[in-house]
């Protein structure tokens, strides 16, 4: 981390929690910029997947199955 980033981080750490959250939200918002090239790539990918589905090359999976696959349960103690 640069000296500037270290200084900003130290200053932010001194703020009340609500203000720190606001700073975090603003930083995250600044990273979430539209990218037309990326949007085009995703649109093409979605079109390709839909076409493959319609040709019967891939099958749909129920949302509940996807969630169940990635859902973790807390270990029992």
pTM as predicted: 0.50
Alpha helices (H) along the chain: 3-13, 17-31, 36-54, 63-70
> Tell me, what's the pLDDT at 32?
85
The answer to whether residues 59 and 66 touch, using CB atoms and an 8 Å cutoff, is no
Q: What is the pLDDT of residues 60-73, one digit of tens each?
A: 999 999 999 998 76
Between CA 30 and CA 27 the distance in angstroms is 5
Look up residue 36 and give its two tokens: 């037309």
Q: What is the pLDDT of residues 3-51, one digit of tens each?
A: 999 999 999 999 999 999 999 999 999 998 889 999 999 999 999 999 9
Look up residue 50 and give its DSSP letter.
H
Between CA 12 and CA 23 the distance in angstroms is 8
């Amino acid at each position: 981390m640069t000296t500037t980033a270290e200084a900003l981080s130290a200053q932010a750490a001194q703020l009340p929690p609500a203000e720190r959250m606001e700073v975090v939200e603003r930083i995250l918002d600044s990273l979430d910029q539209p990218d037309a090239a990326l949007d085009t790539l995703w649109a093409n990918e979605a079109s390709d997947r839909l076409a493959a589905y319609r040709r019967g090359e891939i099958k749909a999976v129920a949302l509940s199955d996807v969630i169940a696959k990635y859902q973790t349960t807390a270990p029992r103690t």
